[in-house]
Structure 1
Amino acid sequence: MVAMNQETLLDLWGKARYWIAFFGIRRLVSAVVTGVVAVTLVWLILRPSEPPIEASLPLATLPVVTTTSTPSYVTVHVAGAVKSPGVYRLAPLARVVDAVTAAGGPKSDADLERINLAQVLIDTEQVFIPVRTTRSVTPSIAPRHRPTTTIATPRSPTQQETPQSNNALIDLNSASSIELDALPGVGPATAKAIIDYRTSQGKFSRVEDLLNVAGIGPAKLAALRDLVTVAQ
């Protein structure tokens, strides 16, 4: 058995020397290293991926402990218009009305309408009850009015008194331009035309001669007939 092993080893050593002599020691070592690296890379690529340790471990769920601490009482300071002001301990969720009652109740001059009796009390707060005060009323003074000044507006010629109002007729042969201008429907131009006609043609012999004056027609003559006259 030992002799066989020695022969096998000698045979392998002989083959190794042959390949070393054939390829050279450097080429043989390089080929062996390259083969080992190639086998390693193939194994790394083809091996099944293992889950990470963190993912494989189950998450530990810790129980959530909720603690709700309800105070056994609230401490408030009651001051103002109460019979026994001071610091009082009341039950949780007590209201302002409970604090006022604990302080002996409100005084006769307490103004309870200015506070919210239904408000829930908060620990260490102050409850102040105000005193009813009389509101002063400021007398109102009526504003003084300035005297009103009436300014007379001059009347237009149609609004002024006509000869008919005082029963005085205008004489066409002696009336001035101002008197003629005061007649209804007669302006400065028509008054000048009447005077020019009277100067150039002579005195009017009758009222109907106004139709010969420029600017006077039958309608205007009818309006002037009862207001003018012709003195002989």
Structure 2
Amino acid sequence: MEYRQLYKKHKRAVQYGICAVFLIITGLIYLAGRKNASVSENTFADNVVSSSIEDSWHMESESSVEDIYVYICGHVNSPGVVKCLKGTRLYEAVAMAGGADDLADMSAVNLAALVADGERIYIPAYGEDISVIEEQTEGIVNINKATESELMTLPGIGSSRAADIVRYRTDNGRFQTIEDIMKVSGIKEAAFNKIKNYICV
């Protein structure tokens, strides 16, 4: 009996209390939902950013992969043109050329240096003066880089033959050895013998 009287007496206060509790519970549910949604959005954004960074890294890695050709000569076991990746160090290129022979003075060259496409690198013997060797090779025409005018400085090479060399190089890629120049129409062994001491790759 007392509960009913108390309820009647405080009916409005009880109703307000119930409404307040309902609103509090509703508010808590709403805030919890917002928090979960925010976490999901942040996770999605993080995934998108991470994916973009990873894709960019892969694209950069792929673009940095490039084949180059370097002429390693002098005191190595298999002198010649070696194919390697851009960013290769000299010690790696020397290994691709069969490694240094017993006479090679490896302290005379920078083994940690990066090699460049089309570069000619001479590995000297003990006691050899690299500066003298470089002077001796001045005037040598690189048939992979030379212009038509530069090719015309070679014995027996006129304007039409120089144009043929450049055209062949453009259509078929770089020459791997100096002997490959005989693949150009009109350059046979006799013509090659005239220029072989004046060309390199």
TM-score, normalization by structure 2: 0.32
- Between Structure 1 and Structure 2, the one with more helix by share is 2
TM-score (norm 1): 0.28
Say which one has the larger Rg: 1
Q: Which has the higher contact order (CA 8 A, sep 6+)?
A: 2
